Structure formats: structure tokens, C-alpha cells
């Protein structure tokens, strides 16, 4: 399993864990992006280390190739000088360089392939991170819109049948008060009419008494007398 696959598994595991525990989508999205950024940083470090290792191996290989050429030239010079002993020693050094080359070449090739693969994986991971950031902005905007819509819906749901039934009760109380006010006004009107009738009766009694008093005093003209 490659490094990128392991990182992907870690990301998926973290995302699944976040999804299970998620209460705030915005926090979850931000946390996911942070996790991906950390993965990009880790992969970037791995790529850098791989590149450094590749450069080191390549230098060793180049040095071994240069040493091979150098010791071969020294052997030729020793032969020219009639120093076969030095030529043999130089050829032994050359053989050592060749063994080093044989060991380093496949390792260097493999290291380069690993570096190229890690670079490709890093590019893919960065592209995923850019996509996640873009989707994060979109999803956060959608989440905020959904929250606002939910709050409005909850506010509207509070003004439902229960609220209107309360209004109906209040309206009924107001109507009752209005009816009572009208009734009291009518009663007040009836009492006024009754008082007026009694005042009329009292006025009639006073007139009768006045006439009687005048008659007693002889102030009223006699009625029924013949002239």
C-alpha cells in the first residue's frame, strides 16, 4: 500500500468519524479541510525527503561512474609506466566502482520512480484540496442559507393554530367586553327614562297640591255658579 493510499484511508476515516459526530456542518467542513491540508503537508514532506534521497543516490552513482573511469585511466598510466602492480591495484579499485554502480543503478532508478509517483500523488492531493476548499465555500453558504430558512420556518411555525386560537380567545373577550358595555349603556338609558317618568308624576302631584291650596285660600274662581 502506497503512502498516498494510506493518507487517503486516514482522510476517509477522519471524515467518517466527523460525519458520525457532526452537529455543525460548517465546523465539520472546516475540520475536513484542515485534515486534508495536514495530509498535503505530510505528503509534501515525504516528496521532499524522497527527492533528497534520489539526489543523494544519483550523486553516489555519478561518483562511482567517475571513479570507474578514473581508476581505468590510472591503470592504463601504470601499464605505460611499466608498473603492472599499480595497474592491478587500480583495476581492483575500478572493479569496486563497478560493483557500486551495479548496486546503485537499480536503487537510483527505483528512487526516481518513487519520487515521480509521489509528485503525481501530491499533485492529485493538492487538486482534491483545492476542490474541497471550493466546495467548502459553497456548502458553507448553503448551510447558512439552510439555517436561515430553518429559523424562519421555526418562527413561522410558532405563529400557528395555537397562536391564532389565542387571538380568537382575545377577540372573544373583547367582544364580550363590548357587549357588556352596550348592555350597561342600555340599562343606564332605561334608568334615565324611569327617573323621568317619576319626575313627571311628582310634577303632577305638585300641580294638584297647588290648585288645592289656591282653592282653600279662595283664590280660584268658583265654577258652576250662575251669574
From first CA to last CA, the distance across the chain in angstroms is 155
Distance CA(140)–CA(31), nearest Å, equals 12
60-115 pLDDT per residue, tens: 999 999 999 999 999 999 999 999 999 999 999 999 999 999 999 999 999 999 99
What pLDDT does 85 receive? Answer: 93
What pLDDT does 151 receive? Answer: 79
24-64 pLDDT per residue, tens: 777 777 888 888 888 889 989 989 999 999 999 999 999 99
For residue 82, the 8-state DSSP code is: T
What pLDDT does 227 receive? Answer: 42
Region 106-126: what's the mean pLDDT? 91
Distance CA(147)–CA(26), nearest Å, equals 11
145-175 pLDDT per residue, tens: 877 887 787 766 655 556 666 767 777 788 8
At residue 222's C-alpha, the angle toward residues 220 and 227, to 5°, is: 140
Kindly state the cell numbers that stand for 77. Answer: 598510466
Residue whose cell numbers read 332605561: 190
What pLDDT does 224 receive? Answer: 43
Q: What is the pTM of this model?
A: 0.50
What pLDDT does 164 receive? Answer: 60
Q: What is the topology classification, in CATH, of domain 3-158? A: Helix Hairpins (1.10.287)
Contact 115, 54 (CB under 8 A): yes
Cβ-proximal residues to 130 (8 Å cutoff; 6+ apart), any chain: none
Residue 129: pLDDT band (50, 70, 90) is confident
Contact 18, 32 (CB under 8 A): yes
**Which alpha helices (DSSP H) does the chain contain, by range?**
3-21, 25-80, 84-158, 161-216
Amino acid at each position: 500500500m502506497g503512502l498516498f493510499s494510506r493518507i487517503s484511508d486516514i482522510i476517509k476515516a477522519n471524515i467518517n468519524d466527523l460525519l458520525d459526530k457532526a452537529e455543525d456542518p460548517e465546523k465539520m467542513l472546516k475540520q475536513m479541510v484542515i485534515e486534508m491540508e495536514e495530509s498535503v503537508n505530510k505528503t509534501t514532506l515525504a516528496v521532499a525527503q524522497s527527492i533528497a534521497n534520489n539526489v543523494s543516490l544519483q550523486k553516489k552513482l555519478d561518483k562511482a561512474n567517475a571513479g570507474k573511469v578514473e581508476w581505468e585511466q590510472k591503470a592504463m598510466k601504470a601499464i605505460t609506466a611499466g608498473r603492472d602492480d599499480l595497474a592491478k591495484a587500480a583495476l581492483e579499485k575500478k572493479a569496486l566502482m563497478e560493483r557500486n554502480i551495479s548496486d546503485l543503478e537499480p536503487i537510483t532508478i527505483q528512487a526516481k520512480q518513487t519520487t515521480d509517483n509521489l509528485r503525481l500523488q501530491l499533485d492529485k492531493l493538492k487538486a482534491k484540496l483545492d476542490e474541497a476548499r471550493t466546495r467548502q465555500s459553497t456548502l458553507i453558504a448553503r448551510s447558512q442559507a439552510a439555517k436561515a430558512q430553518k429559523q424562519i420556518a421555526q418562527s413561522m411555525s410558532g405563529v400557528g393554530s395555537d397562536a391564532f386560537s389565542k387571538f380568537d380567545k382575545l377577540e372573544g373577550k373583547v367582544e364580550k367586553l363590548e357587549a357588556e358595555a352596550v348592555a350597561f349603556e342600555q340599562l343606564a338609558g332605561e334608568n334615565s327614562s324611569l327617573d323621568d317618568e317619576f319626575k313627571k308624576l311628582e310634577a303632577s302631584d305638585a300641580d294638584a297640591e297647588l290648585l288645592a291650596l289656591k282653592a282653600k285660600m279662595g283664590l280660584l274662581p268658583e265654577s258652576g255658579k250662575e251669574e
